[in-house]
Structure 1
Amino acid sequence: MSQRTALVVGGTSGIGLATARLLYARGATVHIAGRSKERLDALAITDAELVGHRADAGNPDEMSALAEATGSIDWLVLAASGSEGLGPVADLDLPMLRRAFEAKFWPHVTTIQAVLPHLTPDGSITLLSAITARTGMPGTAGIAALNGAVEALVKPLAAELAPIRVNAVSPGLVDTPWWNSLPEDAKREYFAQTAATLPVRHIASAQEIAEVVALAATNANLTGTIIETDGGARLVSLG
């Protein structure tokens, strides 16, 4: 098989970066895109094998230029994330929820449109949602709707874009920089309590989720599928 090319949008930290490193280790040329110049500059030193691009996934002109510069793309991974959308529905900040959709849902659609002309016919698109779309946790209606919207893209696009494959990965709690806003002691305590409840008895690492993302991106027989990798969170009550 000739060398493959991957583009990981949101590839400068967390699950996106772990996925980029994994795909590179498996022989792909890997481009990563993010908005933070500081992160990209740091990765140019620590992960010089990854080709960094500064671009906003919600900006169609920037994403089109990035795709043009990258050339033919086999595997598009969309790991754009956001930190807003939580809260009980009675007090849910609707402008905040709109910002959350702007930060995650619309960049998915924008990037797919921009990159599509550059995807190989046997290529793939892999989206990142979250298990909130599939559970009934109180206080998550907003973020559940957001991740549900991302997941709703999968089946129609898998049918519409065939033979290009389209899948999503739905993680539960993952130890990534997403949690850095919590004080370290509070984070440690919350993770310990939650891990004791999960059937797998631990909080996932970004590497564990990246292995599932890489499977969705590279397996030629997988399309129209949402893979749950939540440590069994949907089987228990975390509320």
Structure 2
Amino acid sequence: MPPATAHKYINKLQGHRVLVLGASTGVGFCVAEAALEHGAHVVVSSSNQTKLDKAVARLQAHAQAIGASSDGVTGKTCDLSQPDTIENNIIQLLEFATKGGKLDHVVFTAGDAISITALKDATVESIRKTGMVREVGSIMLAKHLPKYISVNVRSSFTVTGGTNTWRPGPDWAIIAGSGGAVEGLTRGFAVGLAPVRVNCVQLGAVHTELFSDIPKERLPAVLESLRKEGITGTVGRPDEVAEAYIYCMKDTFATGGVVETNGGRLVGDGKDGLVFS
């Protein structure tokens, strides 16, 4: 047992190596920032070099501000959008991320851009593209992970899902199906990668940079609709929901599950539906 004066909880990630995919902005960035504050060495990745460079600079500045070494933050681009290159790109990322030792935790927050396609307009290509990053990317990552991660219960792989799997809006059937696949993969990964732990964080509406794609005149109505969908009366912040990912890393008894951070959307009684269009 550690001495009575030693920290038992806040240092659980001290010295751990954490890889976050989709970390240049939003939820992924905040997960990397939170892991850094918990004493981890962080490797961040996204598909956009310019955004990634800015994220690394911000994280390194934050490290210095909290008295940590900026050397504990590195980054590498990884494009997950092309089927012909996705597996090779993931291998290159894992090779880069483990130059200093095997990983302890991997977090997958990368996702396809939201593209709502009505069933009447669905094509094989549109369906394939919907799951390219989340489904194919996570599968290829899980396939190669055992070679690059410390294989024990202290290690974890956390993926990202959403409430639209359980409460889809109009014309969200394809997106809901993709989210359902992620939750199913979580359970399969947990069994196949054991003792490495695998969990899914189910997000509700989180106000990230993705909202910049919504026309300014529509944004207030969209945010109001999202507030009504839950029972907190709020839209989530990336720094709030990042805590769920940190939990998945720290609790060595948690695996094969779905951790919810969604403002109570699955029990809310809002009837307006989502108004992104």
TM range (shorter): over 0.9
Residue of structure 1 in register with 2:93 after alignment: 66
Give the match for residue 204 of structure 1.
236
Where do residues 166-185 of structure 1 align in structure 2 (5 Å cutoff)? 166-185=198-217
How many residues are matched?
Answer: 239
Moved more, 183-192 or 82-91: 82-91
TM-score scaled to structure 2, two decimals?
0.81
1:227 to 242, 259, 267: 259
The counterpart of 2:22, out of the listed 2, 10, 20, is: 10
Q: For residue 87 of structure 1, what is the aligned residue in structure 2?
A: 117
Assess if the C-alpha contact under 8 Å between 2:112 and 2:132 holds in 1.
no
SS at match of 1:228: strand
Moved more, 42-51 or 66-75: 42-51
Does the CA contact (< 8 Å) of 1:57 and 1:110 recur in 2?
no
Please give the alpha-carbon distance, in whole angstroms, between the structure 1 residues aligned to 2:134 and 2:190.
20
2:225 touches 2:272 (CA, 8 Å); kept in 1?
no
Which residue of the partner structure matches residue 27 of structure 1? 39
Matches within 5 A, 1:72-221: 72-122=102-152, 123-221=155-253
Query: Partners in 2 of 1:190 and 1:112 — Cα distance?
Result: 35
Larger radius of gyration: 2
TM-score normalised per structure 1: 0.93
Contact preservation (8 Å) 1:60, 1:114: no
How far apart are residue 25 of structure 1 and its match? Answer: 0.5
Which has more helix, going by share of residues?
1
% identical equivalent positions? 22
Q: Which AA in structure 2 matches 1:230? A: N
Contact 2:131 2:178 in 1 (8 A): yes
The equivalent position to 1:54 in structure 2, one of 54, 77, 88, is: 77
In terms of fraction of residues, the more strand-rich structure is: 1
Mapped to 2, the partners of 1:76 and 1:203 lie a distance apart of 26
Deviation per CA, 1:37-81, whole angstroms, max 9, x where unpaired?
111221233222431111224622222122123220000001111
Relative to 1, partners in 2 of residues 1:115 and 1:89: Cα closer, same or farther, differing over 3 Å? same
- Cα RMSD between the aligned structures? 1.8
Give 1:197 deviation, angstroms: 4.2
